[in-house]
Structure formats: structure tokens, C-alpha cells
């Protein structure tokens, strides 16, 4: 079997191009002509499928060891499409500290449309089992979670889900298929915000759903065509280009993150560091079993709100901006950005307060990043 590093670069070798072009062509066409009545080239209308998007989807499916991947116009579009497989009255259990946008969608849109949600600490299998009822159709998790970096045992949870005929959905954005492959651990659906590490350059939006079951894939493709939320040809090409360097980016960003996490642990104004790669992290051993790496996302809490705001205002090399996974190191303030829609009570329960910051570590020289943080603390 071809190594995942090679898959990142070569992906789906069928480029549908006779010129020998090394770069996948961008088929910037909304529609495709029929050879004759009742015949098709395999492409009719780009809302349904486009050759450039198809190349990307086959690449992502191969990386995740799935049979099909469906590319959406954003991560939230992917989750929105996914929710359309459920019907009013269905019950879904979700990680309590998901990305704030996912919680907003579930609570403000999907609940209105008749779905019912319970949010739980999905690191606790007992807590999940206690919430399962006859209407439960899915368990939706992030691992590690955003931004508190909690780790769920995917294999153990998949055994519970399969025994109850419940779908297990895993948001794999933080670790990517390079470090973690949830389908091989028993998950039914893998979701990605392709905007993040898969793209890697903070220059486009994308989302993916990856599955192994052919019937489920067909259902999701019908939803994609009906909603019209497929990824555009040019954005598909940007993702193809970004994935080519996924392996080396993930390795180097992880190396930088470990150095920064260890430095933060020794700083007098840092009260807690949330990084899965630290041996004292509660999910360290589970992560070693189910993943090939720890990623490059770090959250940390400082001694006061004043210190947090001073860091945000004083960083120079590090950018105070939302999003994550790009080559540039970004710092965010979850309570005002990613989780601003949550109530104060909900944020406090998740330790997302005035003193928590989140770092997406990039590809810069690690010592330069540490030096920038050091001067920002002063």
C-alpha cells in the first residue's frame, strides 16, 4: 500500500488530462456538453460534480481510508449537509466542548428543525451510555476538542455506537488523516474543516464528509446536489495543492508546538497548558494508541484577564486572528471569538474564560515564536 506521504502528493492519479500536466487542471465550467442524447461524459453540471472537485474528493477519501469523500464549500456547510440525513425527533449526543460554530448550528438551527441534542463529556463512556435512548441516531465528537483538547477513545466509543446501531461521527480537523484515521478505528463518518490543515495556507474555505458505507455516501451526495453547497473548482484546486505538503507541515508544526508547550509550562504567568503531547495530559495515553501524532493546537490559561489581553495586543510575529492550521501562527481569544455565542455559564463550565488563549502553531522558527510570546508577556 502506498504510504500516506506519497498519497498526499499524488492522490488520485487520474487527472483526466491528456497534456501531461503535472498540476491538476482547474475545470472552471458550470456545465458540460453531452456527446449525444442519453449519453454523458460523467459530468453534467458542476453542482453535482466537477472533475477538479472529484480529484480532490478521491484524494481525501484515500487519505482517510474511506470509500468516498464529499467536498463542501466550508466546514459548516459540511456539518449542515450531514444534519440533513436525520429527521425531526432524532436525538444526537455531542461533545460538550465542540467548536462554537457547531454548537450554534445544533442549538439555533437544527433544534428549530426538530432534532434533539444532548451535550456530554465524551471522554466519559458512562456519561454517553446514560444519555442513549431509543431516538438516539448519532454521536458527534471532536477529538481533541476545541479548545480544551480533550481526547475521546474512538475505538471504545465505536463499540458502544455499533452495539446500539448509532452512527459515530468524528470531527478530525485538528489531527487530519496524517495523524489520525477515525474510520479505521470504527467511526462511520469523518468530518473536516478543510479550511484548516488540509488547505494549510489560510486562503480558502472548504469542508469534507468521508465515509466507508456506499449507501451513506449516496445519501450525502444527493444532499450535496440538492443544497448546492459543493466546493468550487478553483477552491478544490487550492486544497489539492495544500494537501501536497500536509505531511511535512504537520510534522514541523507539531515539533514547534511541543517546544512552545514546554516553554509555556515553565512560565510563571501560565496557570495551565492544554496540549495533548504533554505526558501529564489526561488523554496522552489514549492519543498514543489511536493517533500517530499530537498535532499543533495549544490552549493555555494565564494568571489574569489583563495578561491575556496584553498578550493579544503585544504579539508581533504571531497574528491575533481566528481560524487555525495554516503556515502562520495564530492566537485567538475563544471567549470572544470561536465560542462567543455560548452563554457565560456554558463557557465557564468548559473553562473557556477571560484567561484562556488558543494557539495554532505554524511553520515559523520555534525560537522566534517563543521570543515573541516572551516579550508579549512582559
Rounded-to-5 percentages of helix, strand, coil across the chain: 40, 15, 45
Question: How long, in residues, is the chain?
Answer: 378
CATH, domain 4-243, list 3.40.640.10, 3.40.50.300, 3.40.50.670, 3.40.50.720: 3.40.640.10
Q: What residue spans define the domains of the chain?
A: 4-243, 248-377
Q: Percent of the chain beyond pLDDT 90?
A: 89
CA distances from 156 to 113, 127, 137 (A): 31, 13, 17
pLDDT of 135 reads 98
User: Is residue 16 very low, low, confident or very high in pLDDT (cuts 50, 70, 90)?
Assistant: low
The residues that are catalytic are 47, 99, 171, 196
Asked whether the predicted pLDDT for residue 244 surpasses 70, the reply is yes
The pLDDT of residue 215 is 97
Averaged confidence pLDDT in the chain = 95
Shortest CA distance to 95 belongs to which of 320, 349, 324, 304? 349
Confidence of residue 335 (pLDDT cuts 50, 70, 90): confident
Residues 191-212 as b or e (16 or more Cβ within 10 Å = b):
bbbbbbbbbbbbebbbbbbbbb
Name the β-bridge partners of 273. Answer: 300
**pLDDT for 256 beyond 60:** yes
Q: Give the pLDDT confidence score for residue 231 in this predicted structure.
A: 98
Task: Render pLDDT for 59-70 as a digit per residue (tens, 0 to 9).
Answer: 999 999 999 999
Do the domains spanning 4-243 and 248-377 agree at the CATH topology level?
Answer: no
Residue 122: name the closest of 84, 161, 90 by CA: 161
| Contacts (Cβ under 8 Å, ≥6 apart) of 51 | 16, 25, 27, 43
Which strand ranges, in their side-by-side order, compose the sheet holding 189-193? 68-72, 207-211, 189-193, 167-171, 136-142, 91-95, 116-120
Mean pLDDT throughout 278-307?
Answer: 97
Over residues 118-124, the mean pLDDT reads 95
For residue 107, the 8-state DSSP code is I
Neighbours of 161 (CB within 10 A): 23
- 205-232 mean pLDDT: 97
pLDDT given at position 341? 67
Question: CATH says 248-377 is which class?
Answer: alpha beta
Helices (H), 35-74: 51-63
Indicate the helix (H) or strand (E) that contains 258. helix 246-265
Q: Which helix (H) or strand (E) element contains residue 222? A: helix 214-227
Pull the grid cell for residue 330: 495564530
Three-class secondary structure of residue 145 per DSSP: coil
Exposure b/e, 215-227, CB count within 10 A at least 16 = b:
ebbeebbebbeee
**Confidence check: pLDDT of 304 > 60:** yes
Share of the chain above pLDDT 70, in %: 98
Asked if residue 184 lies in contact with residue 65, where contact means CB atoms within 8 angstroms, the answer is yes
Is the pLDDT at 161 greater than 90? The verdict is yes
Question: Confidence band (pLDDT; 50, 70, 90) for 141?
Answer: very high
What pLDDT, on a 0 to 100 scale, did the predictor assign at position 292?
98
Amino acid at each position: 500500500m502506498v504510504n500516506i506521504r506519497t498519497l498526499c502528493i499524488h492522490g488520485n492519479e487520474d487527472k483526466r488530462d491528456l497534456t501531461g500536466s503535472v498540476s491538476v487542471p482547474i475545470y472552471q465550467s458550470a456545465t458540460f456538453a453531452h456527446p449525444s442524447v442519453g449519453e454523458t461524459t460523467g459530468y453534467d453540471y458542476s453542482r453535482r460534480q466537477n472533475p477538479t472537485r472529484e480529484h480532490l474528493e478521491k484524494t481525501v477519501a484515500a487519505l482517510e481510508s474511506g470509500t468516498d469523500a464529499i467536498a463542501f464549500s466550508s466546514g459548516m456547510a459540511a456539518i449542515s449537509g450531514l444534519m440533513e440525513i436525520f429527521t425531526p425527533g432524532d436525538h444526537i449526543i455531542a461533545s460538550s466542548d465542540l467548536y462554537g460554530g457547531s454548537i450554534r448550528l445544533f442549538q439555533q438551527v437544527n433544534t428549530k428543525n426538530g432534532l434533539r441534542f444532548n451535550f456530554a463529556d465524551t471522554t466519559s463512556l458512562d456519561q454517553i451510555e446514560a444519555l442513549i435512548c431509543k431516538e438516539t441516531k448519532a454521536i458527534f465528537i471532536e477529538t481533541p476538542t476545541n479548545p480544551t483538547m480533550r481526547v475521546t477513545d474512538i475505538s471504545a466509543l465505536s463499540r458502544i455506537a455499533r452495539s446500539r446501531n448509532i452512527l459515530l461521527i468524528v470531527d478530525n480537523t485538528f489531527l487530519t488523516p496524517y495523524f489520525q484515521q477515525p474510520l479505521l478505528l470504527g467511526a462511520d463518518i469523518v468530518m473536516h474543516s478543510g479550511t484548516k490543515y488540509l488547505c494549510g495556507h489560510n486562503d480558502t474555505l472548504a469542508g469534507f464528509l468521508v465515509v466507508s458505507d456506499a449507501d451513506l455516501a449516496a445519501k450525502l451526495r444527493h444532499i450535496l446536489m440538492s443544497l448546492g453547497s459543493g466546493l468550487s473548482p478553483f477552491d478544490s484546486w487550492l486544497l489539492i495543492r495544500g494537501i501536497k505538503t500536509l505531511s511535512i507541515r504537520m510534522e514541523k508544526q507539531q515539533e514547534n508546538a511541543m517546544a512552545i508547550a514546554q516553554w509555556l509550562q515553565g512560565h510563571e504567568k501560565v496557570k495551565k497548558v492544554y496540549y495533548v503531547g504533554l505526558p501529564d495530559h489526561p488523554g496522552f495515553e489514549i492519543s498514543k494508541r489511536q493517533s500517530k501524532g499530537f498535532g499543533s493546537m495549544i490552549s493555555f490559561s494565564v494568571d489574569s484577564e489583563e495578561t491575556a489581553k496584553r498578550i493579544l495586543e503585544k504579539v508581533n510575529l504571531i497574528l491575533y486572528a481566528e481560524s487555525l492550521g495554516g503556515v502562520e501562527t495564530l492566537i485567538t481569544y475563544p471567549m470572544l471569538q470561536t465560542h462567543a455565542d455560548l452563554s457565560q455559564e456554558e463557557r465557564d463550565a468548559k473553562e473557556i474564560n477571560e484567561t484562556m488563549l488558543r494557539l495554532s502553531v505554524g511553520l515559523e522558527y520555534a525560537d522566534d515564536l517563543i521570543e515573541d510570546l516572551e516579550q508579549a508577556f512582559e
